[in-house]
Amino acid sequence: MKVAIIGATGLVGSVILKVLEEQDFPFTQLIPAASPKSVGMQVKCKQQYFSVVSMEEALASSPDIAIFSAGGAISKIWAPQFAAKSCFVIDNSSAWRMQDDIPLVVPEINADAISPDTKIIANPNCSTIQMVLALSRLHEKYHIRRIVVSTYQSVTGTGAKALNQLFSEREWREYEPVYPHPIDLNLFPHGGTFEEDGYTSEETKLLNETRKILRDSSIQVTATVVRVPVKGGHSEAVNVEFHQEYDLKEATDLIRQTPGVIIQDDPATNHYPMPRFAEGCDEVFVGRIRRDFTQPNTLNCWIVADNLRKGAATNAVQIAQYLLKQFPGKFS
């Protein structure tokens, strides 16, 4: 079992290595790859050190699984080359997510979209993953009509340079700016790039990816993405309208029964999800579950998850674990 990590020295890549170790993923050879400036660096996994290699060397190693987290441009060039060598590619960028013949997978929801002949599998956007996982069983039961979501997204969603900007501002150090404004003691409604309709690419992803994962093109999603000076994870205020009436207790129980979801909802003791406690966790946390009294069939909730874990690395490793379990003959 040969596993390649493309972008192994990046923020998400380092977390992928950590999750592989925590899950004791059964590789016999680990192939970390990155840009030319990182070749020769050492990364650690399972108490071993591995030398970072070039993309060409990683491809020549013929891995069984390659987890990409090096950006869309790299994925567009290299993912098909790895796939052509009978390698399962799990891609964390937005490069392949909306391509019709490529599954966009949250394993707890739609792993069955993967077939033995699937060669490229797209990992959804971090904000989408936590939202659809929390709402998936509610959709099965009550059928979602419309979602209004405002996200409060950690700087780690932009990468290591953004995290450096936050703490450099806080500590009055020089830094290479990533954002158009200061982020410490500030927030701004800007995630991704602005499009002609006034929405950002991050906001559009929440619409398109939700429809694809939940297999329902009728779901309406309107989103506002906000970047906040937080490193522990992404938070979302979600207002969801169903096609039919729901029972609040039953809805809460459905969320609680969803694999990978934990309810934290006791306002009397100030117990609700927060990124400072979600950091380092694989679960999606849900709280502030309550009825919207301004219109029928509508529920409010608050969803928090570590965007580097379930929002990226953990979801990718879960896909790899599914491949091993479901198609063992492909790895013999």
Which residues form the catalytic set? 126, 234
3-class DSSP string for the chain: CEEEEECCCCHHHHHHHHHHHHCCCCCCEEEEECCHHHCCCEEEECCEEEECECHHHHHHCCCCEEEECCCHHHHHHHHHHHHCCCCEEEECCCCCCCCCCCCECCHHHHHHHCCCCCCEEECCCHHHHHHHHHHHHHHHHHCEEEEEEEEEECHHHCCHHHHHHHHHHHHCCCCCCCCCCCCCCCCECCCCCECCCCCEHHHHHHHHHHHHHHCCCCCEEEEEEEECCCCCCEEEEEEEEECCCCCHHHHHHHHHCCCCEEECCEHHHCECCCHHHHCCCCCEEEEEEEECCCCCCEEEEEEEECCCHHHHHHHHHHHHHHHHHHCHHHHC
